[in-house]
Amino acid sequence: MKNSVWLSLLVCVALALGSLALWAYPFSIKCPIDGEDMYFTHQVGYGRDAVCWYAHNYNDGTHTVKHEAYVPCPDR
């Protein structure tokens, strides 16, 4: 009985933390230039004015170019 209570509590905490992480900002977006996945790098600002920056490196065969983009991600 005692183990099932702890297991239930652990599952609830894990679900809450996972939901909170997904709620904060998207983990990745599509690059507007080449359609590849761009991954979250940092957030600038707070509240309604916050934006989330994303980036990925693109190799065109001769050199590597960093693509960056941002989307609004207001605090909820």
Write out the residue range of the structural domain in which residue 12 sits: 2-72
Listed in order, strand segments (DSSP E) in 1-76 are: 28-30, 37-44, 51-59, 64-72
The residue type at 24: A
Domains of the chain: total? 1
pLDDT of residue 65: 92
CA distance 34 to 60: 11
Identify the band that residue 52 occupies on the pLDDT scale cut at 50, 70 and 90: very high
Cα torsion through 40, 42, 46, 51, rounded to 10: -50
The answer on pLDDT for 56 being more than 90 is yes
Query: Model pTM greater than 0.85?
Result: no
